[in-house]
C-alpha cells in the first residue's frame, strides 16, 4: 500500500522535471536566436572592411589564420574549416603554440582573425605584437569594443550579446554562437565575392566534404613530403651559426641533424632558436648538438598523411622528419606541405 501511494507522486515529480527541462532548453535556444538576430542590426561598414582586408590578403597570395583560446578556440577551428571548404585558404593556429614557433607561419600578406569575447585573452595578446610587426592584418571578433585586442585590431567585429544562455550567465553559450555565426557570414560573403560556383564546390566536395577529406587523407607521406635534396640538414658537431644559415636557406623553419651515415640525431626549429637566444651571448663556440632537440619525432614515407596530421597535433609540432627503416633521413614535411596536399 505504501509503494502504491508513492507511485503517483513520483510520476508527477518526473513529469514536472521533464517539463522544466524542455522549458529550459527552449529558453536556451531563444536566447541564442536573439543573440544572432541582434547581430543582423549591428552589421555595418566594419564587416565590409573585414571582407576587403581578406580579399586583399588573398590577392597577394596570403592566407587567413584564425585563432582563439578555450571555447573561442573551438569556434576558431570551425570557422577556419568553413573558410577553407568554401574556397578561402585558412587554417587554425593555437595562440599558446604560436608563442613557441608557430608564429613563423604568419607573414605580411596574411590576415589573423582573433576571437576573444573579453578581448583580453592573455595568450592572444602575447602574439598580437609579433603579428603586427610582420605586417599582417588583424581582425578582432570580440564582445568588448574597448578591449586591448580591439584597440590593436585593424577591424573590430562586434560579437557582443546581452546575456549568455547559461542560467548562471557564465558559460560561453550565446557568445560563442554569435562568433560562429559571424564567421559563417564572412565565409559566405567571401564565397559570393570570389564567384565561387557550384562547380567549384563540387570539385572540392565530390561526395561531400567528409568524403573528400577522407580521400585526401589516404595519401601517403611519400606523395606529400619534400625529398632529401630539399631538406635543410647538417651533420653532428656543426657550428651553430653554420646550422642557422642552412636552416634559413631551407625555408622549412627547421634544420635536421644527422650522423655520417645520414641517420637522424636531432632537429633544431624556429622555436628552439627563440628558446636559446642567450647562447649567442656566450663567448665559446657553440655546436648544434648543444641546443638541438635529440631523438625527434619521425615518420616513415609509407605511412598515411593522416597519420602525420595526428602525430603533429598530438605532440604540438609543425614539422616532421621522414626516415627509412634504419633511421636514415629521406625527407621532411611541415604544415604547409599538408595544406598544399589538401590533407588539412
Helices 45-59 and 174-193, interaxial angle, to 10°? 50
Strand order in the sheet with 155-158: 90-92, 64-68, 111-115, 137-142, 155-158
Q: Which residue is it, cell 592573455?
A: 122
Predicted local distance difference test score (pLDDT) of residue 215: 54
CA distance 76 to 115: 7
- Strand runs labelled E in 69-206: 90-92, 111-115, 137-142, 155-158
Q: What is the pLDDT of residues 260-318, one digit of tens each?
A: 999 999 999 988 888 887 766 565 678 999 899 999 999 999 998 888 988 998 988 99
CA distance 198 to 89: 18
Segments of the chain scoring below 70 in pLDDT: 1-15, 99-104, 169-170, 196-218, 279-284, 344
CB under 8 Å to 302, separation ≥6 — which residues? 220, 221, 222
Question: Which domains are present in the chain?
Answer: 16-204 (3.40.50.10490), 221-340 (3.10.580.10)
Residue of 338, 309, 274, 289 whose CA lies nearest to 100: 274
Amino acid at each position: 500500500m505504501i509503494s502504491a501511494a508513492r507511485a503517483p507522486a513520483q510520476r508527477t515529480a518526473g513529469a514536472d522535471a521533464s517539463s522544466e527541462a524542455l522549458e529550459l532548453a527552449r529558453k536556451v535556444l531563444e536566447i541564442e536566436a536573439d543573440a544572432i538576430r541582434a547581430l543582423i542590426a549591428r552589421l555595418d561598414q566594419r564587416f565590409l572592411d573585414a571582407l576587403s582586408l581578406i580579399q586583399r590578403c588573398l590577392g597577394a597570395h596570403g592566407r587567413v589564420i584564425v585563432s582563439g583560446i578555450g571555447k573561442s578556440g573551438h569556434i576558431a577551428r570551425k570557422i577556419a574549416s568553413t573558410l577553407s571548404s568554401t574556397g578561402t585558404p585558412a587554417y587554425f593556429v593555437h595562440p599558446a603554440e604560436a608563442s613557441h614557433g608557430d608564429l613563423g607561419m604568419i607573414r605580411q600578406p596574411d590576415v589573423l582573425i582573433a576571437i576573444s569575447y573579453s578581448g583580453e585573452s592573455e595568450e592572444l595578446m602575447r602574439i598580437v605584437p609579433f603579428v603586427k610587426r610582420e605586417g599582417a592584418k588583424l581582425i578582432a571578433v570580440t564582445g568588448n569594443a574597448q578591449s586591448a585586442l580591439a584597440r590593436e585590431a585593424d577591424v573590430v567585429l562586434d560579437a557582443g550579446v546581452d546575456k549568455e544562455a547559461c542560467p548562471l550567465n557564465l558559460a560561453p553559450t550565446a557568445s560563442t554562437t554569435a562568433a560562429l555565426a559571424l564567421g559563417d557570414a564572412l565565409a559566405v560573403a567571401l564565397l559570393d565575392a570570389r564567384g565561387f560556383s557550384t562547380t567549384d564546390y563540387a570539385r572540392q566536395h565530390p561526395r561531400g566534404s567528409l568524403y573528400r577529406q577522407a580521400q585526401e587523407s589516404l595519401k601517403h607521406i611519400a606523395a606529400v613530403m619534400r625529398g632529401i635534396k630539399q631538406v635543410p640538414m647538417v651533420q653532428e658537431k656543426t657550428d651553430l651559426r653554420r646550422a642557422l644559415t642552412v636552416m634559413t636557406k631551407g625555408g622549412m623553419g627547421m634544420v635536421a641533424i644527422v650522423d655520417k651515415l645520414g641517420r637522424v640525431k636531432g632537429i633544431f626549429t624556429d622555436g628552439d632558436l627563440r628558446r636559446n637566444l642567450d647562447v649567442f651571448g656566450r663567448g665559446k663556440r657553440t655546436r648544434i648538438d648543444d641546443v638541438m632537440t635529440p631523438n625527434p619525432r619521425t615518420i616513415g614515407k609509407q605511412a598515411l598523411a593522416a597519420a602525420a596530421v595526428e602525430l603533429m597535433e598530438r605532440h604540438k609540432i609543425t614539422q616532421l622528419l621522414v626516415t627509412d627503416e634504419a633511421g636514415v633521413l629521406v625527407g621532411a614535411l611541415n604544415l604547409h606541405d599538408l595544406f598544399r596536399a589538401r590533407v588539412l
